[in-house]
Amino acid sequence: MNLIFRFQFSFIFSFLVATGTPIFSESKTIRFTLEPDREDIIQYEFELWKQTSFDLEIPFRVLSNPGKIQLFIPNGYEYFRIRAVAKRQVRGFWTDLYAVGSFGQPKPKEPTKVVSRKPNTADVLVPISNAKGTNHFFLTENKIQVKPILIHPMKTSVRYRLNGGAWKVTKLPELSFSKDGDYKLEYQVTNELGVSDSMQVWEFSVDNTPPKTEFHWQPETYKKSSIQYVSKNTNLQLNAIDEGSGLDTIRFRTICGKNLQSEWFEWDPKNSWMGILNSCTNDLEIEISAIDRLGNEEIPNKIYLKQNNQGN
């Protein structure tokens, strides 16, 4: 028998839930309202759990009448579930587990999806503004080909030099740039009649290096061997550094349990970490990657969060 009810929350206290090793706070009380959708529902049954595995413990059970509920959470209990009880003790199905630590938290801002930021342009050079608000040109490909544009078919030669080096002459110069840095290309086109264009000067930078993301745990996490232990009062702060075109965004995606991998979302320093922890009660894989303003993508850094299902 499937008994349905509405779940409304009012004034709520929260307590912390460990994701690595159990770290429990003092007992708390959470307040909410349960309004039955059927007249024959007379009570609600609650089961309080310390872990997400039903095989490792005996739950703490309580009953309550519909309406305003004050649910006392003893020290150490981190999850609860609910089912409706109708007349003649007919019981409905259990809900999924609710994480006590998620109650009382402000509703997280909806994460922003991130798409590829690689410049969609046929231009060899694109302007990117710096911190001072002035534009600086960056190379979008790994090579430049100097190809004269002629009104009438005619033989030409190109005299050029790079970064003040020796002058070279060729018909169709093609220059490759594999190293990051600043470059100055000077060139001049001369036709078969000996007529030369004015000297052309291109100043630009090459940036093939993606950003690098640093991880900072606040407060410092407990570490044993190669395993770090975190709880929901542990905050993850990210700092991405890019010395080329500049940082565009930090993004993340997750795999909760055996679910499919999520899309990329923009990292919000205030909300993303807690939103990730509250979104999954199973083992969790997180990938974090920064992108610069040219679209260079950092190889994802991976964090594995394994739920500790052992008893106290």
Give DSSP secondary structure letters for 30-53.
EEEEEEESSTTEEEEEEEEESSS-
> Distance between CA atoms of 124 and 183, rounded to whole angstroms?
14
pLDDT at 183: 96
Quick one: tokens of 216?
A: 């900072």
pLDDT at 166: 96
Total count of residues recorded for the chain? 312
Supply the Cα-derived Rg of the chain in whole angstroms: 31
pLDDT at 89: 83
> Distance between CA atoms of 120 and 149, rounded to whole angstroms?
24
> Distance between CA atoms of 257 and 252, rounded to whole angstroms?
16
Q: Are the C-beta atoms of 239 and 222 separated by less than 8 Å?
A: no
pLDDT at 40: 86
> Distance between CA atoms of 143 and 124, rounded to whole angstroms?
9
Count Cβ atoms below 10 Å from residue 69 Cβ, excluding itself.
Answer: 21
Mean pLDDT per 10-residue section of the chain, whose length is 312 residues: 47 32 58 84 91 85 89 88 88 87 64 65 82 87 84 86 94 91 94 88 94 88 72 86 93 92 92 87 92 94 79 40
Please tell me the pTM assigned to this model. 0.59
Q: Which of 26, 47, 24 is nearest to 96 (CA)?
A: 47
- Say if strands 222-224 and 227-229 run parallel, antiparallel, or are unpaired: antiparallel
Contacts of 266 (CB under 8 A, 6+ apart): 111, 112, 113, 114, 249, 250, 251
pLDDT at 235: 87
Q: Which domains does the chain have, with CATH numbers?
A: 5-102 (2.60.40), 143-206 (2.60.40.10), 212-305 (2.60.40)
